[in-house]
Amino acid sequence: MAMNILHQSPHVQMEVILSILLTQNSIADASRGWANGVRDAGNAVKDASAAAGSRAPTAQNPLGLSRSPQSVQLPSSRSKAGGKPPSRSTARDPLGLGSL
C-alpha cells in the first residue's frame, strides 16, 4: 500500500524524501561506476591493438590519453605451459577433492 506522505509529520516527510534521494544517488553512482569500467575496457582494447581514434574519458583517465600496447594488461587465458592444473571437479565432487 502506498504511503501518502502529505498526511505525515514534517519529520517523516523529510525522512521519506531523503530516503528517495539516497536511493537515486546510489543507483546513479553504481551506473557511473559500471560505465567507467566499460569505457576503461574499451580503451584498453583500443590501446592493446594500437587502434587509431580517440579514447573515452574515464575516472582513471579523465583526458582519455592512449597508452602503449605493451603497458596494457588485458585478461588472458592461462597458457598451457605452467599455471594452475585443470579442475577435476564433478557433479558429486564440485570442489575436486576426491575421497579424502
Across 69-97, average pLDDT:
68
Residue 25: CB atoms within 10 Å: 10
State how far the Cα of 49 lies from the Cα of 58, in Å rounded to an integer: 19
For residue 74, name the pLDDT band (cuts at 50, 70, 90).
low
pLDDT of residue 80: 52
Q: Is the pLDDT of residue 27 over 70?
A: yes
pTM value is 0.47
- Assess contact for 40 and 19: CB atoms under 8 A: no
State how far the Cα of 70 lies from the Cα of 15, in Å rounded to an integer: 52
Report which DSSP code applies to 62.
Answer: T
Letter for the amino acid at 50? Answer: A
